[in-house]
Chain A
Amino acid sequence: MTENVYIVGAGIHPFGRTEERSGREQGVFAVRQALADAGLEWADMECAYGGSAAAGNADIMVNELGLTSLPFTNVANGCATGGSALVAAQQAIASGMYDLALAVGFDKHPRGAFNAKPSDYGLPEWYGQTGMMLTTQFFALKIQRYMQLHGISRESLGRVAEKAFRNGTVTPHAWRRSEIDLETIMNAPMINDPLTKYMFCAPAEGGVALILASEKKARELGALNNNGAAKIANIAVRTRPPDSFEVFQAGVSIKEGGKPTVLASKAAFEGAGIGPDDIDVAQLQDTESGAEIMHMAENGFCKDGEQEEWLANGWSNRDGKLPINTDGGCLACGEPVGASGLRQVYENVEQLRGRAGERQVAGPDGSGPKTGYSHVYGAPGLSAVAILER
């Protein structure tokens, strides 16, 4: 049995740095906003799934939200924590067991976070000792080869970041709210060639909550009228296949293997019964500028190398043929790991419901986007794709 599942409430705590609130308090903030958005009380929630990578367990939130005895499952799945919480909530309703479910993700990372221990990843100590266990290096090594093979210019890397900061200026939940011009981005200190400081996202803080409902409950709430809900057309999560090239790999197979993003994307499109040409707005993992470029192709929106033309012509701008990362993505919002994947879905929910304010995209016929695509990628090689429609 598979019931249709709708997102009827969406809440977000602004990303960035909020000294006075813990990560979990930012999650609670987002839950309260989502409840208000859906016209529900905490006591109405039938089950909850959530977590963080570095800010503690989600189920403690009941202390603040209310001791209603609901089943609350902690999710700890690294970069896919938010995505996995969403999948669990979606399945809880699709199975017919529940009519209302919460998915919540939050995080609070110390400044300059993400230092990894080799043994946690099954790697020998020398890999860390000699300075090769840095996520930023992986992204630089992947885009460097991609640029050589597919003719992507350094300027295109800069244009992705320029677009992200421009979109951040009109996004209340973004961390970076001012524009940075292309020249400044290109001339900023080099982190790992070809990626400069402004081409990388930074660890941050934030929280996102989404309330999912069955069709029956969504109708009861009146959310099926007046653009009150977004339907989950499909969600797919995939871990890495054999011979792939991922973060923290001292050795890579000479056979060119598959990619988790390609697998997740294909599965989600098949499940939704639509293709890349049918998508009106997309949020793609942009840990750094090169990631957005490569993920455009890995998710099927263009062929390898065509991104050069896309970026030169502004096709992924808010007024382009496929707006990408309309809220500034990770580059402008930062990356609180547990919340980041849900932020992408939040942004699509707002865009589909026509509530994205200054950053609202027009959609193909001017009446707003009808389909939204989100894609999160993280260590050690996993991708989650969610396709929404209205």
Chain B
Amino acid sequence: MAQKIDPELWSDDAQPHLMGGKLPSGEIVFPMPQGDAGRDVEPYKLSRQGTLWSWTTQGFLPKEPYEGPGSGPGEGPPDFQQFLLGYVELPGEVIVESRIVDATLEDLKLNMPMEFCVVPFNTTHDTFAFRPIGAQKEQAA
């Protein structure tokens, strides 16, 4: 299994959770604040399910510091794989920005149910994503 893109970004449970933070006020934030800003913030396991808040496509190779396909030595725009991304609202918690997998642009609808997953990012690292609930079963079949 590849390394996590950030060791503290999601939990190591069998059913992993994206990690946010709980402020002293009770407000849930994402990502977990670093350094002094995180001093009074408790790590908080975010819900694995939410609803789609907005979405878009990434149709061209991002520049540095992007490390996905197309960014490596000897690679370029032809090696880039387009991806979907969006915001998922985790009810009562926070709206998180994420890759969206196991879906096409046409599948995506406002407020559709989504679930957390961990996916391969490049040859060395995994990242997190959300996918429409039900999409996993179709793919496994």
Contact = CB atoms under 8 A, between A and B. Distances in A.
Contacts of B39: none
B4 to A, nearest CB: 9
Given A148-B110, A252-B87, A130 B30 contact: no
Contacts of A226: none
A194 B54 CA distance: 12
Given A115-B63, A126-B5, A250 B56 contact: no
Interface in B65-92: 65-68, 83, 85-87, 89, 91-92
Contacts of A193: 55-57, 59, 105
A367 interface: no
Interface string A126-139: 11111111100100
Interface size class of A (residues with CB under 8 A): 35 or more
B86 A141 contact: yes
A239 interface: no
B35 to A, nearest CB: 9
A130 B96 contact: no
B5 A191 contact: no
Tell me which of B54, B64, B92, B95 has the highest count of chain A C-beta atoms within 10 A of its own C-beta.
Answer: B54
Contacts of B58: 131, 134, 137, 192
A132 B97 CA distance: 8
B94 interface: yes
A368 B66 CA distance: 50
B54 A141 contact: yes
Contact of B67 (A124, A129, A142): A129
A129 B59 CA distance: 16
Interface in A112-157: 112, 115, 117-118, 122-134, 137, 140-142, 144-145, 148-149
Interface string A183-217: 00000011111100000000000000000000000
Given A128-B66, A129-B66, A251-B97, A141 B57 contact: no
B132 interface: no
Given A125-B6, A141-B55, A193-B57, A252 B105 contact: no
A117 B110 contact: no
A128 B65 contact: yes
Interface residues of B, number: 42
Contacts, number: 111
Given A137-B85, A252-B87, A126 B20 contact: no
Given A128-B66, A250-B31, A251-B30, A189 B95 contact: no
A254 B54 contact: no
B97 A249 contact: yes
Contacts of B59: 189-193
A254 to B, nearest CB: 6
B56 A251 contact: no
A292 to B, nearest CB: 18
A253 interface: yes
Interface string B23-43: 000010111001001000000
Interface in B81-125: 83, 85-87, 89, 91-97, 99, 105, 110, 121
Contact of B9 (A118, A126, A140, A189): A126
Contact of A254 (B62, B65, B83, B92): B92
A131 B83 contact: yes
What 4 A-B pairs come out closest when comparing CB atoms? A251-B30, A145-B54, A140-B56, A128-B65
26 contacts: A118-B65, A124-B6, A126-B5, A128-B65, A128-B66, A129-B65, A129-B68, A130-B68, A130-B99, A130-B127, A131-B68, A137-B56, A140-B56, A141-B87, A144-B54, A191-B60, A192-B58, A193-B56, A193-B57, A193-B59, A250-B31, A251-B94, A251-B95, A252-B87, A252-B95, A254-B94
Interface of A: 112, 115, 117-118, 122-134, 137, 140-142, 144-145, 148-149, 189-194, 249-254
